[in-house]
């Protein structure tokens, strides 16, 4: 008999986080994805990041669309709130949930198909509004769930498993994010756990829309010779530009920052994202130059990764719209619905 539940065993001396939970407390149900699918590595990185940040699972909200990638919200943090929505519609559900309660930690998980075709209109407005959420775009260049059609992220010349060649230019999620106002833009790879966990932690702590475009190979339909989203291709052309470490506010900052190579950015919670520049010519706080670097990498085989852009000054949607500091479900009915007389008074203004 197959069990889809992971056994919950606590071993003595197991490492606990600041709220007394072990890493296993951040697991979900067993994955039903293909063995070797990049998405499972991304799931493990998300669970580790939530564990290391000591986020209480019941204060987190996981939202997703439709696809193999979107299924993965079930595979981590089972005690968190979650909504596996409809194809391409996750951003509007996240926006509504966030408006109802801005005090939760929101994570969206989606695929290149879900985000860049049917969901493209929703994604750009979530970025433009600077919704306070981390959006994981698990990018394998195909529609994995529906058996390997090219997505809008497939590179020109990429060959499908059936032998078709893609002739259309891809949508680059990072260039898109930079052009519509996302305030945290990063790219990573499911095979680089160290970089991915650091970026997820930084993205969760950033107050605003954080996009991480993660190359996450589909072993069943897009991991062969000729694919530009395969493990082999990604390992070969991987180029790390800026590494981001999140340092919580409680930790005394002892590190000394080497001029030109390190750059600490203070976050709204008092924590710091320490950016280590591996590519000295990169400035992740300058949108125009970040954009230029991203476009430049499109013309080469280089897969530019790391925290490509950050802006800590633009207010997120809740701040900009002065949303109430109390969650909507704590308002008594009388306050939410002041009654017919109050409505009549309000209408006089328009009469």
Distance CA 204, CA 191 (A): 20
Pick the closest to residue 135 from 144, 125, 149, 146 (CA basis).
125
Tokens of 131: 């919704």
According to the binding rule CB under 5 A, does residue 140 interact with Mg ion?
yes
Q: Does 39 bind ligand SF4 (CB under 6 A)?
A: yes
Q: How far is the CB of 13 from ligand SF4 (least distance, A)?
A: 35
Among 45, 49, 53, 68, binds ligand SF4 (CB under 6 A): 68
Distance CA 178, CA 333 (A): 41
74 binds ligand SF4 (CB under 6 A): no
Using the rule CB under 6 A, is 170 a contact of ligand TPP?
no
Q: Is 213 in the site for Mg ion (CB under 5 A)?
A: no
> Which one, 110 or 130, has the nearer CB to ligand SF4?
110
The smaller minimum CB distance to Mg ion, of residues 65 and 113, is found at 113
Under rule CB under 6 A, residue 159 binds ligand SF4: no
- Contact in structure between 332 and 244 (CB atoms under 8 Å): no
Site size toward ligand SF4, by CB under 6 A: 12
If the CB atoms of residues 39 and 243 are measured against ligand TPP, the closer one turns out to be 39
According to CB under 6 A, which residues from 101 to 120 bind ligand TPP? 111-114
219 binds, among ligand SF4, Mg ion, ligand TPP, none (CB under 5 to 8 A by kind): ligand SF4
Paired tokens of 321 = 């719209």
Q: Which of residues 184-223 bind ligand TPP (CB under 6 A)?
A: 218
Q: Which of 28, 38, 57, 67 binds ligand TPP (CB under 6 A)?
A: 67
* Residues contributing to the site for ligand SF4 (CB under 6 A): 33-34, 37, 39, 68, 140, 144-145, 218-221
* Residues contributing to the site for Mg ion (CB under 5 A): 111-113, 140, 144
* Residues contributing to the site for ligand TPP (CB under 6 A): 66-69, 87, 111-114, 138, 140, 142-146, 151, 218
């Amino acid at each position: 008999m197959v069990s889809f539940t992971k056994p919950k065993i606590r071993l003595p001396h197991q490492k606990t986080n600041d709220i007394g939970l072990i890493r296993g407390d951040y697991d979900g149900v067993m994955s039903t994805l293909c063995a070797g699918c990049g998405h499972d590595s991304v799931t493990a990185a998300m669970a580790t990041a939530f564990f290391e940040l000591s986020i209480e699972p019941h204060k987190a909200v996981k939202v997703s669309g439709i696809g193999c990638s979107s299924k993965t919200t079930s595979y981590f943090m089972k005690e968190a709130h979650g909504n596996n929505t409809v194809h391409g519609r996750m951003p509007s559900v996240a926006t509504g949930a966030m408006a109802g309660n801005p005090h939760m930690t929101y994570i969206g998980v989606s695929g290149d198909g879900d985000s860049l075709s049917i969901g493209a209109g929703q994604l750009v407005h979530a970025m433009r509004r600077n919704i306070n959420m981390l959006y994981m775009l698990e990018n394998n260049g195909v529609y994995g769930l529906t058996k390997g059609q090219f997505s809008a992220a497939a590179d020109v010349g990429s060959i499908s498993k059936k032998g078709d060649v893609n002739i259309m230019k891809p949508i680059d999620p990072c260039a898109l994010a930079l052009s519509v106002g996302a305030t945290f833009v990063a790219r990573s790879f499911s095979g680089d756990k160290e970089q991915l966990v650091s970026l997820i932690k930084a993205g969760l702590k950033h107050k605003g829309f954080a996009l991480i475009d993660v190359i996450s190979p589909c072993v069943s339909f897009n991991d062969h010779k000729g694919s530009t989203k395969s493990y082999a291709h990604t390992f070969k052309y991987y180029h790390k530009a800026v590494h981001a470490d999140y340092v919580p506010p409680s930790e005394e900052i002892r590190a000394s920052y080497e001029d030109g190579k390190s750059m600490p950015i203070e976050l709204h919670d008092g924590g710091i994202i320490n950016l280590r520049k591996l590519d000295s010519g990169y400035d992740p706080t300058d949108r125009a130059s970040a954009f230029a670097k991203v476009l430049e990498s499109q013309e080469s085989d280089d897969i530019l990764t790391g925290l490509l852009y950050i802006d800590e000054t633009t207010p997120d949607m809740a701040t900009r719209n002065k949303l109430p500091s109390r969650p909507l479900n704590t308002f008594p009915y009388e306050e939410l619905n002041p009654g017919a007389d109050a409505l009549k008074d309000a209408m006089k203004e328009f009469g």
